[in-house]
Amino acid sequence: MVELPTPRRGEDPYLRVTDLRVRFDTEDGVVKAVDGVSFAVERGRTLGIVGESGSGKSVTSLAILGLHNAKRTTISGEISVGGRQLVGLREEEIRRLRGRDMAMIFQDPLSALHPYYSVGRQIAEAYRVHHPRAGKREARSRAVDMLGRVGIPQPAKRFDQFPHEFSGGMRQRAMIAMALVNDPDLLIADEPTTALDVTVQAQILDLLADLQAEFRSAIILITHDLGVVSQVADDVLVMYAGRAVEHGSVERVLRAPQHPYTWGLLSSVPSLHGDADADLVPIPGNPPSLINLPSGCAFHPRCRWAGVNGDRSRTEIPELGPAGAPGHLVACHLPVAARERIYRDEVAQVGVAR
Amino acid sequence: MLRFVVRRLLVAALTLVVISLVTFGLFFAVPSSPAKVMCGKNCTAEDIAQVERRLGIDQPLPRQYADFVGGVFAGRTYGEGDFRQDCPAPCLGYSFRNNQPVTEIVAQRAPVTFSIVLGGAVLWLGLGISLGMVSALRRGTAFDRAAIGVTLAGASMQVYFFGLILLYLLVYSTGLLPFPSYTPLTESPARWAAGLLLPWMTLGFLNSALYARLSRAQMLETLSEDFIRTARAKGLPARQVHTRHALRAAITPIVTIAGLDIGTSLGGTFITETIFGLQGLGKATVEAVQFLNLPVVMATVLLAAVFIVVANIVVDVLYAVIDPRVRLG
């Protein structure tokens, strides 16, 4: 068992995921969507999970909420939320936690809200599920209150409007109001700004940060946008093909990245400070099939430095291990010295990376 | 919402005017002499002219149409001299073959068809939608496969085959049910239901197939929607997710098809009526066609069109009630 980034406030993390494995049985074979991922999030802190589509980031968050189809999914490992072990818990018991202790914000608020019910009704419904004794009026005033708190003007009037009558940013605010209506201790935001205009993105991220300060919840922010991560996350987990490849504080992972995949992600982000004429450097190739993973390090077919260390990257799966600074972990066979030299001489130089 | 309904009603009224013009034209303008047809073989030219005068078809065509429309709204009088027949509003014509205003014939026949169709529709919608929904929720299980198999059998069977089997099993060989007959609902609800149970079961089983398949497919599609995941993420119990969130969204296309289905059937269910010996609109239409009883044919064709138009309006309004996004348009 590897050492996780150490808690900084001396309290037990609210969410602790240990050696999580999620498998789907399909007709083509077993999909290893998540394969041995561990992390922890304290209250008041934000963990960014980064990776391409198919890296297992969304599957991980759905596993925490217990939203996978139980018949076709095998989940093992441990998911501890507020001290309760969720893996193997009965659906009815997980259901009681969902929306109350842990809530989720989805990527596209237009399709994530029911088109036939008013926005307010959907928020009030989320409140009443977990407050069965609350009357209609109480749920309504609570929902109006939440709509106001997420910055929707005239919340009492907006309560009765339908999702299609809201703008994209307002819809995502309403979605956030719905997720926070029961004061959850854990909030999972799955690409909350991907479907929004860039200007609205910043507003939503600010809103999340403000609400976190107010509610002191633990937040997992799933994104493929490293800009978003640098803006709001405290810690970062980089995932590739269902495994964690790099994990550490946001300063370390973004300023001194250790994994070639992280380098690739950073090099493909445009920067205002770099050379305007320099080309972005995309990661060559495509994410691998999760049914038929490459041997050894799953990233090796796309890694320029896979051969540096002989055959190890092709034959042996790298374990997550210390990467210099405390709490910074990386899963790569490159020797520390080689990693630092390559990053300094070949990657950081390119200029588009920060 | 009110503007929406008013606009739909105006469009519907226009549609009906067009349909009445077309049917009117087809039946009174195209045949060389409807009077000759109605009068029979041994008619002199004099007789035919008399019939024409009595029917009002000696008048120019626009005048005839105006008379017809006037009859629908204000009633009219057929015939001349000492031969006069009153046809009170809504007058759909006068059948000299039956010696009866067409409206009276329709008023006798329509309740029979209405009873058959509405009772059957309750069965086929209830059975079909619940079967489809449960199949979708238990996708891939033995229940799902059995339901799909049974509904396939239903879809591939014919009313005259299945109806006769039911008739044999439930009436002739076991006597569990009386032979179908029509008793007005107002007279005795129990006898009304008992007499129509067999046609209801027949239509219910055969038509439920389509609805079971449709609602299964709709339900499966809806269950994979993002908003269903949201509903589950809120912590809603499965039952509420399935009914309040999934079924509500899946039902929209079913409403469309059900509305048109019912509207079409109200115009007449000839085969069902014939097998079970019920005197409904379908039988009236076919008999009228056989005997070239043109006023009745025209009235039933027009009526069938009215049912479909009305069903369309009902569907449109239901749509707006179900889906708030429609109300804007």
Nearest residue on chain A to B247, alpha-carbon basis: A116
Distance CA A286, CA A299 (A): 10
Antiparallel, parallel or unpaired: β A218-223 and A46-50? parallel
pLDDT at residue A70, as a whole number: 84
3-state secondary structure of A238: strand
Task: Tell if the CB–CB gap between A115 and B226 is shorter than 8 Å.
Answer: no
Give the residue extent of every domain in chain A. Answer: 112-182, 259-350
Q: What is the mean pLDDT of residues A302-311?
A: 84
Asked if pLDDT for residue A182 goes beyond 60, the answer is yes
Coil, strand, or helix at residue A326? Answer: strand
Q: Which long-range contacts (CB under 8 A, 24 or more apart) does A293-300 make?
A: A293/A32, A293/A241, A293/A242, A297/A331, A297/A332, A297/A333, A298/A240, A298/A241, A298/A242, A298/A243, A299/A240, A299/A241, A299/A245, A299/A259, A299/A260, A299/A261
The CA-CA-CA angle for residues B231, B232, B235, to 5°, reads: 100
Instruction: Give yes or no for B104 touching A (CB within 8 A).
Output: no
Distance CA B324, CA B329 (A): 10
Contact status, residue B241 vs residue B232, Cβ threshold 8 Å: yes
pLDDT of residue A168 exceeding 50, the answer is yes
* ipTM score assigned to the predicted complex: 0.87
* Residue B142: pLDDT band with limits 50, 70, 90: very high
Q: What is the pLDDT of residue A4?
A: 54
Q: Say how far apart CA A300 and CA A229 lie, in whole Å.
A: 25
Q: Which has the closest alpha carbon to A286: A264, A315, A314, A258?
A: A264
Q: What is the pLDDT of residues A222-254, one digit of tens each?
A: 998 888 899 899 999 999 999 999 999 999 999
Model confidence at A353, in pLDDT bands (50, 70, 90)?
very low
Whether B267 contacts B303, CB under 8 Å: yes
Stated length of chain A: 354
pLDDT of residue B293: 82
Average pLDDT over residues A122-139: 95
Residues with Cβ within 8 Å of residue A123, at least 6 apart in sequence: A143, A146, A147, A174, A177, A178, A181
Q: How far apart are CA B36 and CA A37, in angstroms?
A: 91
Task: Note whether A111 contacts B225, CB cutoff 8 Å.
Answer: yes
pLDDT at A138 over 60: yes
Which residues of chain A neighbour B232 with C-beta distances below 8 Å?
Answer: 67, 98
User: Contact, A13 vs A42, CB < 8 A?
Assistant: yes
Mean pLDDT of A314-329: 87
Give B214-247 pLDDT, tens digit per residue: 999 999 999 999 999 999 999 999 999 999 999 9
β-sheet bridge partners, residue B120: none
pLDDT digits (tens, 9 = 90+) for B254-290: 998 999 999 999 988 999 999 999 999 999 999 988 8
- The model's confidence at residue A314, banded by pLDDT at 50, 70 and 90, is confident
Q: Compute the average pLDDT of residues A156-165.
A: 95
The arithmetic mean of pLDDT across residues B68-89, rounded, is 81
Give the A:B interface size as CB pairs under 8 Å: 67
Distance between CA atoms of residues A176 and A107, nearest Å = 11
Q: Identify whether the C-beta of residue A57 lies closer than 8 Å to the C-beta of residue A51.
A: yes
Q: In Å, how far is A191's CA from the nearest CA of chain B?
A: 14
Of A67, A111, A162, the CB nearest to B233: A67
- Is B239 in the A-facing interface, judged by CB distances under 8 Å? no
Q: Distance between CA A354 and CA A348 in Å, rounded?
A: 7
How would residue A110 be classed by pLDDT, with cut points 50, 70 and 90? very high
Residues of A in contact with B319 (CB under 8 A): none
